[in-house]
Amino acid sequence: MGSIKFIAFDLDGTLLDTAKDFYLAVNKLRSNYNLEPCEFNEIRARVSEGAVSLAKYSLNLTNEEEIEFHRQELLKIYESCCLEKTAPFEGILELLEQINHTGLKWGIVTNKPKKFADKIINHFFSSYHPSCEISPEDTGERKPNPEGLLKACQIVGLEPKNSIYIGDHSIDIEAGKRANIKTVAAAYGYIPKGENCINWKADYIAESPQQIKEYIPLMK
């Protein structure tokens, strides 16, 4: 592997702590159907699995058509509250400042729908100048498909061997491996219940955003 010159991040559970806003949205959806609020930790553990998982859990759904209908309903609610309690994880903004100061490039590769990703990234990170932002709409594929990561490398003009990807779900690590990119499991993020990120076999594990720089030689 070559020296690291490009750092790609997942969004939810890696750069941003978005779980509280998803919790608001899920409980609003539940209240629409006269259900009691659910436990926060149940939502936090599902955020990185996406809106399908959240919708299924919210209303205890199994039918695919119902899941899709309520997924759209949940996302409409989420759109109205997605900036209320979301915030960068502690140490993320300092890490991005250090990346920029070192002259490295960084970007975001997420499974979050583009209209939400654009809104949130512009709000929190526009002044930190990401070199790229890749959502499923940009490639027609979702992680663990590696196309998003490969497109990000193409945009910044660097090879996968000169890149590293940080994410908090096994699909992030799988996508990175399939793209021949070094991977970091964000153990501080939204690890699904019953899983241990050690088993994902990432190249590295970061217990905090600050630890990420230990795996990037130019930032040591």
Angle at 139 between CA 78 and CA 68, to 5 degrees: 40
Output the pLDDT for position 1.
Answer: 46
Strand partners, 205: 185
Q: Is 167 helix (H, G, I), strand (E, B) or coil?
A: strand
Q: What is the CA radius of gyration of the chain?
A: 17
Q: Is 209 helix (H, G, I), strand (E, B) or coil?
A: helix
Query: Is the Cβ–Cβ distance between 5 and 104 less than 8 Å?
Result: yes
Other beta carbons less than 10 A from residue 62's beta carbon: 7
- DSSP code at position 15: T
d(CA 212, CA 195): 21
d(CA 113, CA 75): 10
Output the pLDDT for position 61.
Answer: 97
Output the pLDDT for position 2.
Answer: 63
Divide the 220 residues of the chain into consecutive groups of 10 and give the mean pLDDT of each group. 88 98 98 97 95 96 97 97 98 97 97 96 98 98 98 98 97 98 98 95 98 90
d(CA 200, CA 172): 10
Output the pLDDT for position 218.
Answer: 83
Output the pLDDT for position 219.
Answer: 84
Q: Where are the alpha helices (DSSP H) in 82-146?
A: 92-102, 114-125, 136-139
Residues that are catalytic: 10, 12
Mark residue 140 as left, alpha or beta (left: phi above 0; alpha: psi -120 to 50; beta: remaining): left
Cis bond upstream, residue 144 (ω within 30): yes
DSSP element (H, E) containing 186: strand 182-186
Query: Is the Cβ–Cβ distance between 118 and 133 less than 8 Å?
Result: yes
